[in-house]
Structure formats: C-alpha cells, structure tokens
Amino acid sequence: MSQIKALINPVTPFQQNAPIIYCTETNKCAFVDPGGEIDVLIESAKQHNLMPEKILLTHAHIDHAGGAYELSRILNLKIEGPHRDDQFLIDTIEEQGRMVGIPASKFVPDIWFEDGDKVTVGNLSLDIYFCPGHTPGHIIFVHQDSKFAIVGDVLFRGSIGRTDLPGGNHQDLLDSITTKLWPLGSDIEFVCGHGPGSTFGQERIDNAFVSDRALS
C-alpha cells in the first residue's frame, strides 16, 4: 500500500513549513505551499531522489504561494489549488510580496479545487476539504489510509489560524474545524503551516481555541 511522507522545509521570514509530500512507492512528490526560497525546496527534493509532479496550494497568502509561479516555471509543474474564492489574493500576491519583502509573481492555477475533489501524487489519492475562515478559499489535503492531513493555516498545535486578514471569518474557521476536521477522527496526524504538527485528538483535548472544553 502506498504511504505518504512529508519533508518539512521552513521557508520565508514567516518560517512557513512548505511540506514536500511524496509517495513511498513511486518517489513522486508534490510541493505544498511553496512560499519562497524555492532553491531550498528543489534541493531538498533532489537530496531525497524525489520526482516532482505538481504544486499544491492550501491558500494564497504570500508565505504559502509566493514561490508558486517561479517553481512552476523552473520545473514545468502545474499549480493545483486552492479554491477559487482565493482569487483576490492571487490577484494581489505581488503587492503582498512587496509589503513583506518576499518576491512573488501572479499566476493562474491550472486547477481550482472544490470540496470533495481528489488529487493524486504518485499512487496516492488525497481527499480535498473546503475549509474557509483563515482565507475564503482555504482547502486541506487528507490521505485517509495514512491518517495524515495537511491543514495549512486552519489549525496549529495549540492554536488556530488568524482571521483578521482580508477575507478572514472567525466563525467560518471554527465551523471548518468542527465540521470538516474533527469528523475525520482523533487519530489523524497533521502538518500545519507553521510550527510543529499534532493530532486532531490532541487538539480536541487541549487547544485553547477549539478543544471540546473551549467550545462547550
């Protein structure tokens, strides 16, 4: 059975995790949220003898999507995701970059994802869940067989994504976590956009914002 593994390469001044996920059977990989420092990401894939297949985006903030165009140009990769409700962030990504000192270029995703879609990486099939709140078009990727999720900036170890940026909505974020993430099971391990990962079960126990006790 194909398993998923992830290489974590924090990039940009925001130390965004920029995971490279890959299929253990084929060594085919996807760059998830390449926010910048794409030379670091390309070298990481080379060192592990991975074969880049595509770029996946959870959302279009600069620290997650700033390097997408350049990486796609250099390696001739398609950009897949996020949901089209993040179009306004892609339209302003160069301006976002100038504000924080991260070079970026606008791009047009080859695929916009919808809730319930699937995406393949090698022999892996990942389910896509639409999880707005941090941004209007945020999505997450879940590999059910491995009990593994990439949640972007929806959920963190001990915290949740900010909702004070353009398009953010706090209630939408809480709804995404409680109606999309929690039903997947407490044993799901996740990689988030910043900092260490965790499990959904652990966050239901002690996350200050979305634990069962905090929401009761």
- Determine contact, residues 147/191, Cβ cutoff 8 Å: no
Per-residue pLDDT of 77-121, as tens digits, reads: 999 999 999 999 999 999 999 999 998 999 999 999 999 999 999
Q: Which CATH class is domain 4-215?
A: alpha beta
Q: Cis ω on the peptide bond leading into residue 82 (within 30° of 0)?
A: yes
Domain ranges of the chain: 4-215
Q: Chain-wide mean pLDDT for the chain?
A: 97
pLDDT score for 100: 92
pLDDT digits over 127-141, tens only? 999 999 999 999 999
For position 2, what pLDDT does the model report?
80
* pTM reported for the whole predicted model: 0.97
- Look at residue 1 and tell me whether its pLDDT is greater than 80: no
200-203's contacts with Cβ under 8 Å and 24+ in sequence apart are 200/149, 202/157, 203/155, 203/157, 203/158
- pLDDT tens for 183-211 read 999 999 999 999 999 999 999 999 999 99
Residues 154-174 have pLDDT tens digits of 999 999 999 999 999 999 999
